[in-house]
Structure 1
């Protein structure tokens, strides 16, 4: 059997196989690399299509792009089905389709549900690795949904955090985060939003909010914030004044100002597009990132198709190397 995703036939990589072979290190490396390629102009996302289909309250769409550096071409197809929770299914459903950039031939079909969660967590982890203070001790979590535990585990690997503080609009869900902290032997405390801002050196917001949950005056100097929930027009997790006070970074500037956390600060004239730096520039060494320990840094993680393609390509190659992918002839 060929161990390259470029071999004969189509590779099919299931959700279970993705969970088995793609861990946080593999996802971090894939996302870090593609962010760097984007900043160099070696990779670019195509326009996103996202539509309400008029059935089951579902949103459905496509994220696509081409990474010339990694020679990865493809599309993530899927969306959000809010009623799936009653069917014991994940609300977010997606599949990544990879093509041969040289011929256009179909190369692989890769389950995208787990990879979406792990690539989103990898993005915030990359931002912490490059932008948080080296002496950061307290991690703050705003949100306790399905994605939050992926975020928490990835973040805890980036600094020697001594404590986790967390808030969620529905406090009963904080037990998810508490369980992870108990497993990893990290002290955990449920707090209100102001207490979270006062204590945390790094804050991750991962909610589906449409209003600010963290205000500028609650954030102490030197904090790094990763806003990971805002990916649609109208969504919002933090005070626009906070973006005006911070040094801003993102995965893709065009998405940041249109559907990301920065949309509100731009619309109100507090910041402009030129105030936002692609995090790939920090990865590539063309931007210094954090300049001092008093600076507030903020990463607007909007989620780009190239992240999905990067981790899906890694999954396909690893599955083939380990004989875990199903091959079918076209």
Structure 2
């Protein structure tokens, strides 16, 4: 078994690698060649969450699980709040293949999924990017979105405004003007990315203009919520996996309220393989409910393992 520690991941997997791996994962899921196992998610108290996401991709020959969660307060210890590890197994024998640091991989695959949704669903002429959230993941989201659309400027809101300058620095790196705004001004955005860990909605239907695309990437646990149900029900909803969308994703609240049902939600992979048209009009609001599926973690971890083996990196423990 090869151990690929977190410290090596940045030199092994690029954002472009993650984009291609996640895109292939969406396609395999849409074709019925890959599926996720039920998510295990537990509250540990004090806002801490821990769980397991796993699956099997027959097309790619990947079987495995990501173990990890969210630990608020880690910043005080010099750590990021999201901590995880990915374990890969031989799908034919069950033997362990690799253990891979999952923190950067999670950030890269989450941003890649959002960017793929923007690429396929946002209006081609989109110029203004709105960011709701300014935590660790927000910078990855901003960089990934800027690869698929030529944005002219970025507007942003965060419940803790003192965090916004860090996101503004990322925008500056990309050559994009940046402005902190109240939520009401999100109506100026052509694309909105929500990436918060919130138990209550912040973005309302009144904050979003016709024709906007939303990538809602922060809700991955029962009880979390970034946008109000009326906004979800008024949009054409796409997701990484419908089963997760209606139980732990952003759509859970609209489903509970009886505003939408699972049948009205489209897997993004269907758009990639041409089974669904995606956006149908310039005035349509599209919403991608990015719940984060285990198959994406396996896909990017496999890239890291292949690169590590090619370069003679990592630690082989011979299991």
Which range, TM-score by smaller chain?
Answer: over 0.9
Equivalent residue of 1:47, what SS? coil
Q: Deviations over 1:48-77 (max 9, x none)?
A: 1122346x7643221110001111000111
Distance 1:199 1:53 in 2: 39
1:232: which partner in 2?
221
CA RMSD of aligned residues (A): 1.2
Alignment of 1:199-238 (within 5 A): 199-238=188-227
Q: Deviations over 1:178-197 (max 9, x none)?
A: 1011111111111110112x
Q: Provide TM-score, normalisation by structure 1.
A: 0.94
1:164 aligns with 2:157: no
1:78 aligns with 2:68: yes
Q: Which runs of 5+ in 1 are unaligned?
A: 1-9
1:114 aligns with 2:115: no
Alignment of 1:186-205 (within 5 A): 186-196=176-186, 198-205=187-194
1:14 aligns with 2:5: yes
Number of residues paired by the alignment? 319
1:287: which partner in 2?
276
1:46 aligns with 2:37: yes
User: More displaced, 316-325 or 202-211?
Assistant: 316-325
Q: Which runs of 5+ in 2 are unaligned?
A: none
Equivalent residue of 1:63, what SS? strand
Alignment of 1:54-203 (within 5 A): 58-196=48-186, 198-203=187-192
1:299: which partner in 2?
288
Q: Deviations over 1:23-55 (max 9, x none)?
A: 11000111111111111111111111122346x
Q: Provide TM-score, normalisation by structure 2.
A: 0.97
1:30: which partner in 2?
21
Q: How many Å apart are 1:131 and its aligned residue? A: 0.6
Alignment of 1:270-281 (within 5 A): 270-281=259-270
Distance 1:230 1:280 in 2: 20
Match of 1:258 among 236, 247, 250: 247
Q: Deviations over 1:276-301 (max 9, x none)?
A: 00000001111110112111100000
